[in-house]
Chain A
Amino acid sequence: GDSVTQMEGPVTLSEEAFLTINCTYTATGYPSLFWYVQYPGEGLQLLLKATKADDKGSNKGFEATYRKETTSFHLEKGSVQVSDSAVYFCALRPRPNTGNQFYFGTGTSLTVIP
Chain B
Amino acid sequence: GAVVSQHPSRVICKSGTSVKIECRSLDFQATTMFWYRQFPKQSLMLMATSNEGSKATYEQGVEKDKFLINHASLTLSTLTVTSAHPEDSSFYICSAGTGAGYTFGSGTRLTVV
B residues contacting A by CB (< 8 A) are: 4, 6, 9, 32, 34, 36, 38, 41-44, 46, 49, 57, 93, 95, 97, 99, 101-107
Main SS class of interface, B: strand
Report which of B4, B36, B42 forms a contact with A106, defined as CB distance below 8 A: B42
Name the distance in Å between A107's Cβ and chain B's nearest Cβ. 8
A10 to B49, CA, bound (A): 31
A95 to B111, CA, bound (A): 36
B99 adjacent to A100 (CB under 8 Å): yes
5 pairs of A and B residues whose beta carbons are closest in the complex: A44-B104, A104-B44, A43-B106, A43-B104, A104-B43
Q: How many A-B residue contacts, CB cutoff 8 Å?
A: 49
A4 adjacent to B43 (CB under 8 Å): yes
Report which of A41, A43, A46, A89 forms a contact with B44, defined as CB distance below 8 A: A89
On chain A, which size bracket covers the interface? 20 to 34
B106 adjacent to A100 (CB under 8 Å): no
A106 adjacent to B41 (CB under 8 Å): yes
With A105-B43, A106-B41 known as contacts, the answer to whether A44 contacts B93 (CB < 8 A) is: yes
